[in-house]
Amino acid sequence: MTPIASKVAFVTGAGRGIGAAIALALARRGIVPVLAIRDPAAATPVARQVLDLGVACPVVRCEVADEPSVHQAVAETLQTCGRLDIVVNNAATIEPIGLLGDVPSAQWVRSVAVNLSGPYFVIRAALPAFLAQGGGVVLNLSSGAALRPREGWSAYCSTKAALAMLTRSVATEYGARGVRAYSFQPGMVDTDMQGRIRESGLNEVSRVPRAELLPPEWPARIAAWLADAAPEDLTDRELSVRDEALAARASR
């Protein structure tokens, strides 16, 4: 097939929240966002918005915790688009919320599968295409939870901390071959996940008024800039939406 001329970005969890906002921000930069989601039908509203921007918008079924599903989704992306330049690992789960000794172990292990194994599967599936074309971008959605524990979030904090090291590992092992990797903390954003956090009543984050949460479009704009510009000086770093210098660079 004839390759798509513009860059192509594989975005997990792109049906709503930050993932949807990132997909739209990428499209505004002329990048083709591939909406990778467990239920493709749920991505229909976002796909329509992307198409309204005049950008093609493939949707692929992807269960990030299942390696064959991830590899199939990446293969479909390459078949449809002819290339792959960016992966955005956005899909994540905050559950289980509760004290470590109280939550079911199966839920804790599920968090590892989604929040850590999922990004690993996506990166591993994309690497052959990246290396064949001389480079690519890995953007992992991180969290302040990667740096400090929160009561009731042992699984989420642990997996986000591990994801930060996965980002650094990718940069260390493949940076010389053109692969740039970034961890980006979007801050406290008004999403369904924050709604579940408020309902839990655990730790101070659950008590942050909804009016004080960021709209998804704010961090999405910076994330899209990182994925597109791929600044060499920021690879292998934990970046935050609260970094004013970063926000200024993304606004130029």
pLDDT digits (tens, 9 = 90+) for 48-59: 999 999 998 999
Distance CA 35, CA 77 (A): 10
For residue 44, tell me if it sits in a domain. yes
Per-residue pLDDT tens digits for 108-130: 999 999 999 999 999 999 999 99
For residue 2, tell me if it sits in a domain. no
CATH number, residue 93: 3.40.50.720
Q: Which residues form the catalytic set?
A: 156
What average pLDDT does this structure show over 157-170?
97
Over the chain, what is the mean pLDDT? 95
For residue 146, tell me if it sits in a domain. yes
Our count of domains for the chain comes to 1
For residue 225, tell me if it sits in a domain. yes
For residue 1, tell me if it sits in a domain. no
**Inter-CA distances, 86 with 123, 126, 139, 171, 211, Å:** 10, 9, 8, 14, 32
**Inter-CA distances, 24 with 57, 158, 174, 204, 223, Å:** 10, 30, 28, 31, 11
Residue 6 has what pLDDT?
85
For residue 201, tell me if it sits in a domain. yes
Residue 4 has what pLDDT?
58
Inter-residue contact 122 to 12 (CB < 8 Å): yes
Per-residue pLDDT tens digits for 126-140: 999 999 999 999 999
**Enclosing domain of residue 132:** 8-251
Inter-residue contact 17 to 191 (CB < 8 Å): yes
Query: 2 falls in which pLDDT band (50, 70, 90)?
Result: very low
For residue 176, tell me if it sits in a domain. yes
Query: 236 falls in which pLDDT band (50, 70, 90)?
Result: confident
For residue 3, tell me if it sits in a domain. no
Query: 5 falls in which pLDDT band (50, 70, 90)?
Result: low
Name which of 3-7, 16-20, 36-40, 179-183 the model is least confident about.
3-7
Residue with the bigger pLDDT between 2 and 36: it is: 36
What average pLDDT does this structure show over 207-213?
92
